[in-house]
Structure 1
Amino acid sequence: RMMRPVVIFVLLALVGTNVARGGKVAQSSLYGRAVPEKAIDGNRASKWRQGSCACTRKDLKPWWRVDLLKTHKVNYVTITNRKDCCPQRINGAEIHIGDSLSDNGNKNPRYLLLGAFSGGTQTFKCNGMRGRYVNIVIPGKRQYLTLCEVEVYGEPARDIVPTGGKVAQSSTSKNGVPEKAIDGNRANKWKQGSCTHTKEDFKPWWRLDLLKTYKVSYVTVTNRADCRRKNINGAEIHIGNSLDDNGNSNPRCALISSIPAGASKTFSCNGMKGRYVNIVIPGKKEQLSLWVNTTD
């Protein structure tokens, strides 16, 4: 008993800041006043009457989610289970981590299937899994999900703001040189001088050379706000190590169906490996104008 506080202190010193505390939370339903925020209130009190546990109703596939607001490398997740009764309710829960909100985030990669979990606190090592969303879900059965505290330890994923990379594009119109897509400025009107622009090429493309191979988690593209905002529709993001067809033959990360005028949209690439990031509009004659950010 005397050693337990020392062990906890050393663990927290190793894993760093609990990034869940500043996040936004949600859950599949609400039981009484057990709102999802109670799982990130900094209080590990694990008895129901202490009023510090989040809880869903008896849902089919109940879930709880924290949005870390940006992609992180998650090193550890610490879960405090209810201790006074029913600790077995959490058995079979899964931890999912990723950047997608498909199925409320429950389709992100599964880190761990929790086995038997007695009341108390356990820490799970996640080995730097990348993701903005951390979900805890009990799949395949109708159950209550009670979480008295969820702590997420990690660090923001590093932007490869590719100011050190090399850029190229299929052609250049006016002053829309390819370097403007990585100048760190999301200004989205042409007169502000921060957008690239190709001529009206057949299959126009833009390419970033990261100078070495990275695992790319996501790519953010900013569209023009003033005019030609529909030009980006149908563009594709490709990532890989080949320069065949100017890099456009590398595997596809995402299809850009559309981006609202002046908006930035982030596309998850799930750690695709590559030195080259291409944006190309295949199969038609078009002009390509954009701003790009990439995160490892």
Structure 2
Amino acid sequence: MRCVVMFSIRMDMRVILFLTLFTGLCIADSKGNLALNGMAVQSSLGHPQGDAQHAVDGNRDSDYKKESCTITKTEFNPWWRVDLGNVYSVSNVTITNRGDCCKDRLRGAQIRIGNKLDNNGNNNELAATILTAPNGTQTFSFESVNGRYVNIFLPGNDEILTLCEVEVFAVIDTPSYICGPRNLALGATAVQSSILSGAGAQRAVDGNRNSLFSLGSCSHTNADRDPWWRVDLGEKYKVTRVSITNIGDGSAARINGAQIRIGNSLENNGNNNELAVTVVSIPLGETKTFQFQPIKGRYVNIVIPGRNEYLHMCEVEVFSD
């Protein structure tokens, strides 16, 4: 699918530069805000109106009552994170603080950027520290940091983290700017043969590779005969590789023998589509990428044939290179 990236540069005049790529996650708007409508999560939900996604909705309104801000519970080291979908050379983060009250809550927060989800991403490189609570919207500039995840981390006891908008910008005029292959499965509709303890199929396409089942980011079926999981990419792609993150606090061997099947038919729930590769093993809690000759299809299935088994996965990523 052809994808167009648009951003503007101020030189002698404003210039709109169009960069056309055949693969890649594009900058989300004409200002180059990479976080806009990205997948956002936070350490807790302090109020139903304070969802993490509110900080990437494109709305800088700083009045919490208008439902465009996030809020965590009062806790130790609260955090918020956005997944940019790809690795970028991030150079600026713009934060809109709450304006109707409590602006000092943000004082001392850290902006951390990187590619790891250890400690929920809060161990990634420190890009900047918010020393003075922003009065409205403030941009923090720093030496470029390459990363997929941007965290706002507030260290301390009994802290509440509130954000009304977070905007992320990358270097766009040097080779360090990256726009790589995008994960076609991210946020797509997923289903599976059964659901154990509320661990639905959608958890495996939430953009979170955290491998601890107890933290709620892994899918899990019952001990079905030939258990399966399927994602609908929405249209046909020539799929060339699939990455699977195995569970980190269960049995690593359950995934052994799983088949990755790709195609356009829903016969037998999609499990009769073309076999791309068979999983021999994936170490506990690790991500393994399976590459193969391109297979064109809309549906990607993971199925364990021939036995009664639990199928659990913490993330499935699909790419068309």
TM-score (norm 2): 0.47
Name the aligned partner's letter for residue 262 of structure 1: F
How many angstroms apart in 2 are the aligned matches of 1:187 and 1:47? 44
- Identify which of 277, 285, 288 aligns with 1:225: 277
Q: Deviations over 1:145-182 (max 9, x none)?
A: 0000000112652569xxxxxxxxxxxxxxxxxxxxxx
Q: Contact between 1:84 and 1:119, CA under 8 Å: does it hold in 2?
A: no
Shift of 1:25: 0.3
How many angstroms apart in 2 are the aligned matches of 1:56 and 1:95? 17
The answer for the alignment partner of 2:143 in structure 1 is 127
How many angstroms apart in 2 are the aligned matches of 1:17 and 1:46? 21
Shift of 1:226: 4.9
- Structure 2 vs 1, CA of residues 31 and 187 (structure 1 numbering), >3 Å: closer, same or farther? closer
How many angstroms apart in 2 are the aligned matches of 1:135 and 1:187? 28
Question: Are 1:46 and 2:62 an aligned pair?
Answer: yes
- Structure 2 vs 1, CA of residues 51 and 130 (structure 1 numbering), >3 Å: closer, same or farther? same
Shift of 1:140: 2.6
How many angstroms apart in 2 are the aligned matches of 1:259 and 1:124? 33
User: Aligned with 1:142: secondary structure?
Assistant: coil
Q: Contact between 2:87 and 2:180, CA under 8 Å: does it hold in 1?
A: no
- Structure 2 vs 1, CA of residues 261 and 49 (structure 1 numbering), >3 Å: closer, same or farther? closer
Question: Are 1:84 and 2:100 an aligned pair?
Answer: yes
The answer for the alignment partner of 2:201 in structure 1 is none
How many angstroms apart in 1 are the aligned matches of 2:68 and 2:102? 16
Shift of 1:259: 6.0
Name the aligned partner's letter for residue 31 of structure 1: G
- Identify which of 25, 41, 66 aligns with 1:26: 41
Name the aligned partner's letter for residue 138 of structure 2: Q
- Structure 2 vs 1, CA of residues 88 and 158 (structure 1 numbering), >3 Å: closer, same or farther? same
Name the aligned partner's letter for residue 126 of structure 1: F
Q: Contact between 1:53 and 1:149, CA under 8 Å: does it hold in 2?
A: yes
**Count of aligned pairs:** 173
| Runs of 4+ displaced beyond 4 Å | 256-261
Shift of 1:125: 1.1
Shift of 1:44: 0.7
Name the aligned partner's letter for residue 94 of structure 1: Q
Q: Deviations over 1:209-254 (max 9, x none)?
A: xxxxxxxxxxxxxxx9358x56x98xxxxxxxxxxxxxxxxxxxxx
Q: Contact between 2:46 and 2:72, CA under 8 Å: does it hold in 1?
A: yes
- Identify which of 265, 278, 290 aligns with 1:262: 290
Name the aligned partner's letter for residue 21 of structure 1: L
Return the structure number with greater helix share.
1
User: Aligned with 1:20: secondary structure?
Assistant: coil
TM-score (norm 1): 0.51
The answer for the alignment partner of 1:112 in structure 2 is 128
Q: Deviations over 1:60-107 (max 9, x none)?
A: 100000001111111210000011211101111000000000000000
How many angstroms apart in 2 are the aligned matches of 1:45 and 1:261? 41
Q: Contact between 1:29 and 1:56, CA under 8 Å: does it hold in 2?
A: yes
Q: Deviations over 1:166-208 (max 9, x none)?
A: xxxxxxxxxxxxxxxxxxx9469xxxxxxxxxxxxxxxxxxxx
How many angstroms apart in 2 are the aligned matches of 1:187 and 1:86? 47
Q: Deviations over 1:96-147 (max 9, x none)?
A: 0000000000000101111111430100113321000000011132211000
Name the aligned partner's letter for residue 157 of structure 1: I
- Structure 2 vs 1, CA of residues 109 and 260 (structure 1 numbering), >3 Å: closer, same or farther? closer
Structure 1 residue runs of 5 or longer lacking an equivalent are 1-8, 161-184, 189-223, 234-255, 265-296
Q: Percent identity?
A: 39
How many angstroms apart in 2 are the aligned matches of 1:36 and 1:258? 26
How many angstroms apart in 2 are the aligned matches of 1:49 and 1:91? 21
Q: Contact between 1:22 and 1:68, CA under 8 Å: does it hold in 2?
A: no
- Structure 2 vs 1, CA of residues 262 and 34 (structure 1 numbering), >3 Å: closer, same or farther? same
Q: Contact between 1:83 and 1:118, CA under 8 Å: does it hold in 2?
A: no
Structure 2 residue runs of 5 or longer lacking an equivalent are 1-8, 16-29, 182-238, 243-275, 293-321
